[in-house]
Amino acid sequence: MTATTSTNPVSTTSSPTTPLTVAVLGPGGVGGLIGGLLARDGHRVIFLAREETAAALTRDGLHVRSAPYGEFTAQVEAATELREPVDLALVTVKGTALAAALDRMPAQAVAGATVIPLLNGLDHMAVLRERYPAGRIVAGTIRVEATRTAPGRIEHSSPFAALELAAPVEELAARLRHAGLDVTLREDETAMLWSKLSFLAPFALLTTRYRTDAGTVRTEHRPELLAVLDEITAVSRAAGAPAGAEGVLSFFDRAPAGMKSSMQRDAEAGRPIELDAIGGAVLRAAGAHGVDTPVVARLVHELSGEVNR
């Protein structure tokens, strides 16, 4: 596949009909799904990963199995380090792997590109803006349940893949929608990030702490769920993000009963969990704004004890 490569931000100069060159740092569930959809739609996708994963992707392509998108194999490129300019860079590694993974994406390769991190938490935005001062860092969030079952194999189990971007990137949003993603543009970065964290933190902390699914949390652990929602709502409001616990609870109640958090899946598999990026982010913001969060603090403490045991 050939593509026109530009060092200009996608939203200002690229033709809507010109294939993009896209780097995906982290071919896990989220990065694999989005990268696969973009590749299927005709864009040039370069996955950045460890040697064994890059070799598998180069040899076998990327295989996606999804209820809404079907089952398909996309031919992609893969490398251990980005060695050329790109139009768009998606940062989709876990927070626990961010520092090491960024070495795979040199600043000169994304100078002038649009860089979209789809990480949990808040603190990664400052890290990326310092690391890539010449890139356009656009805050993003995604609500999806997708898992990498093996190198180059993605299982998308949720009926949705809802992406939010906090910038006026209409052309890019149109391209992502054409690939099949549900994309919403937001004006307020702080509000958008807290909107995601306000749902994710109780979901991740409670499902991981009690080793259960969303349905069990919202029924058997509902008082604790409500307490966590109230604490996080108070923190988000203090941080300048208008939020209401009722809306988050409504979304939580509509989620598939068997839905599990990525933190829980990581814990079950013995992988490092994003406790600091999720629970730690809430506690740091609470401390900065003088908000008391005893239930969140207890859950973080208990999970930290299990991790270090």
Q: What is the mean pLDDT of residues 166-179?
A: 96
* Confidence (pTM): 0.86
Q: What is the mean pLDDT of residues 148-166?
A: 94
Locate the DSSP E strands across the chain.
Answer: 21-25, 44-48, 62-66, 70-74, 77-79, 88-91, 114-117, 136-137, 140-150, 153-165, 182-185
Round the average pLDDT of the chain to a whole number and report it: 91
Residue 4 lies in a domain: no
Residue 12 has pLDDT above 50, yes or no: no
b (16+ CB within 10 A) / e for 184-208: ebbeebbbbbbbbbbbbbbbbbbbb
* pLDDT, position 259: 86
Domain boundary among 187, 213, 228: 187
Residue 123 lies in a domain: yes
* pLDDT, position 37: 97
pLDDT in tens, 78-103: 999 999 999 999 999 999 999 999 99
Residue 11 has pLDDT above 60, yes or no: no
Residue 6 has pLDDT above 50, yes or no: no
Residue 16 has pLDDT above 70, yes or no: no
Domain boundary among 139, 159, 187: 187
Calculate the alpha carbon distances from 47 to 29, 62, 171, 215 in Å.
13, 10, 23, 35
Q: What is the mean pLDDT of residues 256-278?
A: 91
Residue 111 has pLDDT above 80, yes or no: yes
The CATH number of whichever domain residue 251 belongs to comes to: 1.10.1040.10
Residue 115 lies in a domain: yes
- Print the domain residue range for 223: 191-308
The count of structural domains within the chain is 2
Range with lowest mean pLDDT among 47-56, 221-230, 298-307: 298-307
